[in-house]
Each structure stands twice: as C-alpha cells, then as structure tokens.
Structure 1
Amino acid sequence: MALFVLRLYIVLPIFSRGKLPTSARRKGKSARLPTDKKLCIILGSGGHTAEMARLLQGVDFDRYSQRLYIVGESDLLSLNQIGTLEAKRDHMVEEYMVSRIPRSREVGQSWSSSVFSSLSCLFSVCQTLFHHKPDIILCNGPGNCVIVCAVALIPKFIGLKHIPIIYVESFARVQSLSLSGKLLYFMADRFVVQWPGLLRKYPTAEFIPHLV
C-alpha cells in the first residue's frame, strides 16, 4: 500500500506542477504543446465545444498533423463541428480520426444509473487510447474528459508512456472550478485558468487570460 501511494505521488502531476515558477505560470510560458505529436482533442456538447473550437484556432494543424477527436455518441453537434473545424484548415497533411464513446452521464440521468454508463464509457475509452496511442491530450471540461484523462494516467503509472494532459478551464468559470476542473486539477500536467481569482485559489494553475 505504501508503494502504491508513493507511486501515485510520483505520477500525479499536481505534485511536480507546483514546482513551476509563479512568473512562468502567469505568463503561460510552459503551456505550449510539443510538436510533431498525435493530439487528442476531447469535445463536449454546447459551450464546451464552442470554446474548444475557438481554442483550436491557435493550434497549428500542420505541426500536429495527427489528430484524434473523442466525442460522445449522442453528441451530434460536436460531431458536425469536427468537419467544420477540419474544413477551415489549410493543412498540408490531413489526417484526423474520430472516436465516438458512450457518455459517462447524460443530462438529467440519475446518479445510480450513471454507474453503468460510466463503466461503458471507461471500457470504450480504454479501447480508444490503447489503440490510437495519443501523445498529448487537450480538454476543457466535458464529463467524459475525466475518464479519458484517468485512463491516460495508466501507462504513466506502470512506466510505459507519459501522455501529457493540458486542461483549459472554461471562460465562464470566474470564482470556482467546474466539477471536471476540480478533479483534473490533480491529473493535468498543465492546468490553465482564464481569471486571476482562480489562480489565487489554485496556485499551481497557469493564468492565460482571454484564450476563448
């Protein structure tokens, strides 16, 4: 048990993320994505998808020529948005994949029944990540992203591969984090907030205003 806890301490990014100088976090210097990697993008419905679409405007698709989009099975809006995002890009190499996974919890679904839907989501996410083997994950808060990021920590935990996770909290979150944000604060290698008040409450975050 002690070895398990020690391994968690080593693996969970929050403990090493706190060593980043405050000035660097405020300026967002370390939030750059590595190049020539397979980028996994998690899309949620409604506002999450709209913010991610604006966030992706700053990503050079020629440098991230392989892209994996993860979207909920019932989320037709995000599915259509992927085609729109890709069509607007004039990239030399057009290579992107879409993985549709069950939602961990639908809007209005009871918490008791969400246990089974979360297990279904977990199984699908494991298949997706172990098949596509992304190099980096970019997400901004949809419910499925918590399960995706948790599964992404498994290869790091067993010493196979480190898949960096970049989480960008919603612009609408001014005073408090979303539920996804509160969970991913411990798992994300780069945790970005867009309001200075959140940086005071969560000191290992990176403050980059007006991203979306």
Structure 2
Amino acid sequence: MDITIRDILAYLTEWRCPLLMLVLASAAVVLALLGIIVVLVFGLVKSYGVPPDKHPHGASAMFVLGSGGHTTELLGIVAQLDFSLYPIRTYVSFSGDTLSTVRALRLEKEKSSSSSSSSSSSAPRKVVTLELPRARNVGQSYFTSIFTSLVCGFEAVFAVFRVRPDIVVCNGPGSCVFICFAALLLRATRIKLTRLVYIESFARVNSLSLTGKILISVVDRFIVQWPSLAAQYKDKGVEYFGILA
C-alpha cells in the first residue's frame, strides 16, 4: 500500500492525532509564556517612569545583609538614617549568618534608646528579621549551587511578596540579586512599585563586583564610594557621595 504526502497531511490534520495534539499544546504553552514575559517586561519598563509613592507616615524598608564586611558597611549606613522615615524595617540575612541579625537588632536597640521623644513619630513601628537560604556556600560546587540558588530564589520571591517593601537597600552579597529580581517582579505585576538602591562595597575601588555588574542596569539608584568608579561608570548613571560609612 502506497502512502502519499497527501495521506500524511490528512492524518496529521485529524484532531485525534496524538502528535498533533502534543505539538499544539506545546505551542500554546510557549506562546502563553512568551505573552506573560512580554507583559511583565512592558510593565517593568513603564514602572521606571512612575514617580515614587508618597509616604505621609513613612515607608517600609528592606535591608539585605551579607556577612562580615558587607553587614558592617550596610549597618553603618543604616545607622545614619532617620528611622522615622522608615517606621517599618525588615532585615534579611542568609543561613549560617546569625551574627548579622544580632547586629541589626543591636543597632535597633541603640537607635531606639538614643532617639528623643521630640523626634518620635505616631506612625506604627515594626522591625522584622528574615533568614533566607544561602544561594551558594563557601566551597560549594557549582553544580549543587544551581539547586540551592533555585531554593534561594523561590524563598526570596515569597519574602518580598509577603513584606512588599517600598524600598530595598543592599550592598553586594551575591544572594541579594534574588531579592532585587523578586522586587522587580513585584514592580512588573504592579503589586508594589518597590524602589531598589544598590550601594557598591567600599572594598570595590577600581572595578564593580559581579553583583554590581548584574544590577547596575536595573536598580533605581546605584551608588559607588570611590571617585575612580564614578568616573569609569558615569555613563551608567552611578552616583558618588564619598565614603558612606
């Protein structure tokens, strides 16, 4: 029995053909995903032109702590802030770094005890600490870090969507990339127009960190602490105010 091309085409056009149904279902899923991505990207791009929200009672701030020097630098900067402008504060640390949380709470206690009654605000005050899985541990293989990074990413999305901060401030730990991209997803869906501020580490004098290179084009404000970096990346819109802490 001879089978012609017309016979094959006739068979493929039948809805009962499993292969055709599989191809159509796959095409529908791909098109749906592409549509969602296009909508999210379009919403994210438009969000950069939207002015910041007004916060008559103060904003909600999320501070992403690294470990060691990263935590020291960021907490030094946070200590200079007027806490009445950020009555709701969330400190994010990563597994295995309980010291950063302890230091953040110590700073909160010191700021609370040193604040005068004249500067106190009637706005509700709330301090939250979160611990997320680390994307990659020191010495961990790159293969297994794929899976730990995925876990960190999912946890970051849940944390950011639960807190819905008005601003996220970070200064370089690699895991903060997941927090920032979760905040971008929050903006793209218009759930909250979270602003991102990245402060490059004091230790980066002549070149950006890998985290900085990833985030420089997506954050709202990118701050460096050395004039050499400010001159090198002035076309990227970086800001320089000197040594911050």
8 Å Cα contact 2:91-2:101 kept in structure 1: no
- Match for residue 127 of structure 1? 158
Counterpart CA distance in 1 for 2:205 and 2:92 is 27
Partner of 2:111: 89
Are 2:202 and 1:180 aligned? no
AA aligned to 2:126 is E
Partner of residue 170, structure 1: 201
Query: Which residue pairs with 2:94 in the alignment?
Result: 72
**Corresponding position: 1:59 with 2:81:** yes
Greater shift after overlay, 66-75 or 3-12? 3-12
Residue in structure 2 matching 1:189, options 195, 220, 235: 220
Q: Give yes or no for contact 1:11–1:156 (8 Å, CA) kept in 2.
A: no
Q: For structure 2, which runs of at least 5 residues remain unmatched after alignment?
A: 1-33, 50-54
Query: Does the 8 Å CA contact 1:12/1:186 hold for their aligned counterparts?
Result: no
Q: Which structure shows the higher helix fraction?
A: 2
**C-alpha distance 82-47 of structure 1, shift in aligned 2 (>3 A):** same
Q: Is the 8 A contact 2:44 2:188 kept in 1?
A: no
How far, CA to CA, are the matches of 2:183 and 2:106 in structure 1? 27
CA distance in structure 2 between the partners assigned to 1:178 and 1:11 by the alignment: 28
Share of identical aligned residues, percent?
37
Q: Distance in 2 between the 1:97 and 1:46 partners?
A: 20
**TM-score of the aligned structures, taking structure 1 as reference length:** 0.83
Deviation at 1:4, TM superposition (A): 2.8
Q: How far 1:196 sits from its partner (Å)?
A: 1.3
- Once the two structures are TM-superposed, the CA of residue 94 in structure 1 deviates from its matched residue by 4.4
Q: CA deviation at 1:84?
A: 1.0
User: Tell me, what secondary structure is at the counterpart of 2:96?
Assistant: coil
Q: Whole-Å Cα distance in 1 between the matches of residues 145 and 217 of structure 2?
A: 23
Q: What residue number does 1:144 align with?
A: 175
3-state SS, counterpart of residue 111 of structure 2 = coil
Deviation at 1:115, TM superposition (A): 0.6
Other structure's SS at 1:167 match: strand
> Partner letter of residue 42 of structure 2?
R
Number of the residue aligned with 2:18: none
Residues 96 and 180 (structure 1), Cα distance of their counterparts in 2 relative to 1, 3 Å cut: same
How many equivalent residue pairs? Answer: 193
CA contact (8 A) 2:59 2:86 kept: yes
Runs of 4+ in 1 over 6 A off after TM superposition: none
- Aligned-residue offset at 1:69: 0.8
Instruction: Indicate the structure whose relative CO is greater, using CA pairs within 8 Å and at least 6 residues apart.
Output: 1
Rounded to whole Å, the distance in 2 between the matches of 1:12 and 1:59 is: 26
How much does 1:9 deviate? 7.9
TM-score for both structures, normalised by structure 2:
0.73
Measure how far apart 1:11 and its partner are.
5.4
- Cα drift, residue 54 of structure 1: 0.8
